[in-house]
Amino acid sequence: MIRQPLLRLAASATARPVLPTTIRTTARRTRYFSSLPSLRPSILPNTAAIARPAPIAPLPTSTATGASALDLVSQTSISCHPAFMAAQVRCGPRNTMNRNSRLKRKRKHGFLSRIKSKNGRKTLLRRREKGRCRLSN
């Protein structure tokens, strides 16, 4: 006699739909945000930078020459603006030789230089036969 209520209870527990329980559990999920600082530059300074001001270095003179002048950021750049003093701005000096090396590559391996020489024309022919989309730089 005790077995019948237990069987009914077990049957009702297995007959319940699974969907409402999954909806309840997904509704209670919480999102956790990272407390790590973002690597993107922002206008708002972080609190560590406000509490600890950066040491003030003497401004470089405009008569600096040589390799030291290439490493300096101009005074009109973004990172010299007072609003960005405490923020981390990632637009410092860049490699200015990029364009030159690109020009050298075009001169050595470009389409016009391949057409000019006999071996270059053979290279273009081989690449055309192979079905390459880009024949040269």
Separation of alpha carbons 124 and 39, rounded Å: 45
How much is the average pLDDT of 7-15? 62
Q: What would the two tokens of residue 124 be?
A: 């273009």
pLDDT at 100: 72
The pTM for the full model equals: 0.30
Domain ranges of the chain: 40-51+72-93, 100-130
Q: pLDDT tens digits, residue range 103-126?
A: 888 999 999 999 999 999 999 999
User: Average per-residue pLDDT in the chain?
Assistant: 69
Q: Please, what sign has the CA dihedral across residues 21, 27, 32, 38?
A: positive
Other CB atoms within 10 A of residue 129 CB? 8
Name the H helices within 28-97.
47-51, 67-70
31-50 pLDDT, tens digit per residue, is: 666 666 666 666 666 555 45
Residue 88: the pLDDT is 60
Cα 83–Cα 87–Cα 91 angle in degrees, nearest 5:
95
Q: What whole-number distance in Å separates Cα of residue 35 and Cα of residue 114? A: 55
pLDDT confidence of residue 114: 96
For residue 120, what pLDDT is reported? 97
Amino acid 89: pLDDT: 58
